[in-house]
Amino acid sequence: MLFFLTPAHQTASALEIINENREPVKVMIEKWVTILSPGRGARFKPYDEPTLIKIEQSHIRLECEAGPDDVVRLTGNNCYVNGELVSEGQFRM
Protein backbone atom coordinates (compact mmCIF):
# COMPACT_ATOMS: atom_id res chain seq x y z
CA MET A 1 0.00 0.00 0.00
CA LEU A 2 1.43 3.41 -1.03
CA PHE A 3 0.62 6.71 0.59
CA PHE A 4 1.42 10.04 -0.97
CA LEU A 5 1.81 12.98 1.30
CA THR A 6 1.56 16.44 -0.13
CA PRO A 7 2.27 19.43 2.04
CA ALA A 8 -0.53 21.95 2.39
CA HIS A 9 0.38 25.03 0.41
CA GLN A 10 -0.20 28.35 2.12
CA THR A 11 0.65 31.63 0.48
CA ALA A 12 2.86 33.91 2.53
CA SER A 13 1.35 37.24 3.43
CA ALA A 14 3.14 40.26 2.13
CA LEU A 15 2.38 43.94 2.30
CA GLU A 16 2.67 45.64 -1.10
CA ILE A 17 3.65 49.31 -1.37
CA ILE A 18 3.42 51.26 -4.64
CA ASN A 19 4.76 54.77 -5.21
CA GLU A 20 2.51 56.64 -7.68
CA ASN A 21 4.20 60.00 -7.08
CA ARG A 22 6.44 61.94 -9.46
CA GLU A 23 9.33 61.90 -7.01
CA PRO A 24 11.03 59.19 -4.93
CA VAL A 25 9.72 58.49 -1.44
CA LYS A 26 11.51 57.10 1.59
CA VAL A 27 9.55 54.23 3.17
CA MET A 28 10.22 53.01 6.72
CA ILE A 29 8.56 49.86 8.08
CA GLU A 30 9.80 48.36 11.34
CA LYS A 31 13.61 48.20 10.78
CA TRP A 32 13.33 48.17 6.98
CA VAL A 33 14.09 51.38 5.06
CA THR A 34 14.02 51.84 1.30
CA ILE A 35 13.68 54.53 -1.35
CA LEU A 36 10.95 53.86 -3.91
CA SER A 37 11.39 55.54 -7.27
CA PRO A 38 8.34 56.93 -9.08
CA GLY A 39 6.12 54.13 -10.39
CA ARG A 40 7.98 51.43 -8.44
CA GLY A 41 6.72 49.10 -5.76
CA ALA A 42 8.01 46.77 -3.07
CA ARG A 43 6.74 43.81 -1.05
CA PHE A 44 7.38 43.43 2.65
CA LYS A 45 6.53 40.67 5.10
CA PRO A 46 5.71 42.44 8.37
CA TYR A 47 6.26 41.06 11.87
CA ASP A 48 3.62 43.24 13.52
CA GLU A 49 -0.01 43.52 12.59
CA PRO A 50 -1.13 46.15 11.78
CA THR A 51 2.15 47.58 10.53
CA LEU A 52 3.00 51.26 10.92
CA ILE A 53 4.39 52.70 7.68
CA LYS A 54 6.27 56.01 7.72
CA ILE A 55 6.70 57.84 4.42
CA GLU A 56 8.83 60.89 3.66
CA GLN A 57 8.95 62.97 0.51
CA SER A 58 10.99 66.11 -0.01
CA HIS A 59 8.40 68.28 1.77
CA ILE A 60 5.73 65.87 3.06
CA ARG A 61 5.69 63.34 5.90
CA LEU A 62 2.88 60.88 6.56
CA GLU A 63 2.11 57.69 8.46
CA CYS A 64 -0.42 54.96 7.82
CA GLU A 65 -1.17 51.45 9.07
CA ALA A 66 -1.78 48.36 6.96
CA GLY A 67 -2.18 44.64 7.42
CA PRO A 68 0.00 41.88 5.99
CA ASP A 69 -2.15 41.28 2.88
CA ASP A 70 -2.92 44.92 2.05
CA VAL A 71 -1.93 47.03 -0.94
CA VAL A 72 -0.66 50.52 -0.05
CA ARG A 73 -0.63 53.20 -2.75
CA LEU A 74 1.21 56.46 -2.22
CA THR A 75 -0.45 59.06 -4.43
CA GLY A 76 0.11 62.79 -4.11
CA ASN A 77 0.30 63.55 -0.41
CA ASN A 78 -1.99 60.68 0.56
CA CYS A 79 -1.77 57.06 1.63
CA TYR A 80 -4.43 54.64 0.36
CA VAL A 81 -4.83 51.13 1.79
CA ASN A 82 -6.83 48.80 -0.46
CA GLY A 83 -8.21 51.86 -2.28
CA GLU A 84 -9.37 53.66 0.87
CA LEU A 85 -7.82 56.97 1.98
CA VAL A 86 -6.30 56.38 5.43
CA SER A 87 -3.81 59.24 5.82
CA GLU A 88 -3.07 62.68 4.44
CA GLY A 89 0.44 64.10 4.42
CA GLN A 90 1.67 66.89 6.65
CA PHE A 91 3.82 69.64 5.21
CA ARG A 92 7.30 69.87 6.75
CA MET A 93 10.15 72.29 6.26
Rounded to whole angstroms, how far apart are CA atoms 84 and 9? 30
Backbone angles phi, psi at 33, to 5 degrees: -135, 135
Q: Give residue 38's identity as a one-letter amino acid code.
A: P
% of the chain with per-residue pLDDT over 90: 60
Residue 80 has pLDDT above 60, yes or no: yes
pLDDT single digits (tens) 17-74 = 999 999 999 999 988 999 999 999 999 988 888 899 999 998 889 999 999 899 999 9
Residue pair 33/44 in contact (Cβ under 8 Å)? The answer is no
- CA 62 vs CA 8, 19, 24, 57: distances in Å: 39, 13, 14, 9
Give the pTM.
Answer: 0.81
